[in-house]
Chain A
Amino acid sequence: KAGVTQTPRYLIKTRGQQVTLSCSPISGHRSVSWYQQTPGQGLQFLFEYFSETQRNKGNFPGRFSGRQFSNSRSEMNVSTLELGDSALYLCASSFSGGLSYEQYFGPGTRLTVT
């Protein structure tokens, strides 16, 4: 099976702009989660989508939003970018029906805000 793919891998944006990141989960996985990873805060949970519905949400401002399509692909949008949004954004998919909730991560999108 192909792994989780994320596009683009690298992105440079200017403060105030918006950005959309894309994630394609492993075939058969219906749950997609997004995380922000920074050196200072580590891996922080943004939100999770399951069957096109946001099922869980972390403590991030409303500038961070996402959606999931009927084929389980997901997008994440950040509006009005701030310098502090520079981070590695990771997408993870999971089967969500097993005994334990295992996450399979993509390579991430490195976002730099200048």
Chain B
Amino acid sequence: TQLLEQSPQFLSIQEGENLTVYCNSSSVFSSLQWYRQEPGEGPVLLVTVVTGGEVKKLKRLTFQFGDARKDSSLHITAAQPGDTGLYLCAGERDTGRRALTFGSGTRLQVQP
């Protein structure tokens, strides 16, 4: 069982559509990050959220951290083909040691 569950696992949409990706856990995280990975490359950090209820916007991407710091969502408005990639959430638990737990990922394909 994954500590961080992402849904959906796969998403294929048309350019211009909106979408939301979810990252859920039963554990509390001190911070949560979202990454995007393109084929053959390493993940690239998009955003970090640290406060329960926090909302951050990055152009057409909106990230939200749940009030209880157990879940997060990524919403993309008017998706473009350049948004295609693997989206990964990763959480840091407040265990006193610095380590990240990654979700299984959501593979997004945006068709032109």
Q: Which residues of A contact B (CB under 8 A)?
A: 4, 31, 33, 35, 42-43, 45, 48, 55-56, 90, 92, 94, 96, 99-108, 110
Within 8 A of A (CB), among B56-112: 88, 90, 92, 97-105
**With contacts A31-B98, A48-B99 known, is A100 near B92, CB below 8 A?**
yes
Which secondary structure dominates where chain B touches chain A?
strand
Contact partners of A106 in chain B: CB under 8 A:
42
Cβ A99 vs Cβ B92 within 8 A: no
**With contacts A100-B92, A101-B31 known, is A45 near B45, CB below 8 A?**
no
Instruction: Please give 14 more A-B residue pairs, beta carbons under 8 A apart, in addition to A99-B31, A100-B30.
Output: A31-B98, A42-B103, A42-B104, A43-B105, A55-B97, A56-B99, A90-B43, A100-B92, A101-B99, A101-B100, A106-B42, A107-B42, A108-B41, A110-B40
Q: How many residues on the B side are at the interface (Cβ–Cβ under 8 A)?
A: 24
Docked Cα-Cα span, A90 to B35, in Å, equals 14
